[in-house]
Homo-oligomer: A and B are copies of this chain.
């Protein structure tokens, strides 16, 4: 009764050209060898502490990316989703700045705009859609988008990250109030973004205690 295949899959998301992108890898063995799919694989009972640990290992081994913001998404299961048999995939999503992908990038890694994802093996298209919906929902009332930012960023840059995820312009005053309320940022002393046409803007970074933990508010951001 326990011939069940146990895997994890990771939806690795980043922002490129102001659009959410997902990282896909060519599968190196059957089923679907050579086809682009989510980084994933078997849970190793002898090695992994839990499925979250397995997802971290998968990212490390298959993309070279270490310990990003990673959260459990949902579990996908059944006899239909994998030609090998009845399977469970515990899916996770991770958010990283584009620079992390650009430097850690494995040769086989492809970035695809999430709105252009078509016909993937297994139920990976459904897993990605679930992740994108979760990130959009959560961004509206939390600090989640900061994980897509570089180490240092200006408030207008952060606002444009929120806007790219939510797919809509945000009211600047409401955005600033929300960021104050979330209380996740600190100014980098003496650091200004310069060299642009407008006047220098203060650079910020995420407060240390929010490196791995979201700050939530109970009211959604409002559109412009």
Task: Please choose the segment from A16-24, A62-70, A72-80, A191-199 that sits at the chain B interface, where 4 or more of its residues have CB less than 8 A away.
Answer: A72-80
Given the complex, which residues of B lie within 8 Å of A85, measured CB to CB? 45
Interface extent on A, as a size class? 20 to 34
A3 to B80, CA, bound (A): 21
| A42 and B75 form a contact (CB under 8 A) | no
Q: How many copies of this protein are present in the complex? A: 2
A139 within 8 A of B: no
Rounded to whole angstroms, the CA-CA distance of A222 and B78 in the bound complex is 41
How would residues 1 to 29 of chain A score, 1 for a CB under 8 Å from any chain B CB and 0 otherwise? 11111100000000000000000000000
Looking at A6, A49, A74, A140, which has the most chain B CB atoms within 10 Å of its CB? A6
User: 8 shortest A-B CB distances, which residue pairs?
Assistant: A50-B78, A45-B86, A218-B220, A51-B77, A50-B77, A4-B6, A75-B75, A75-B90
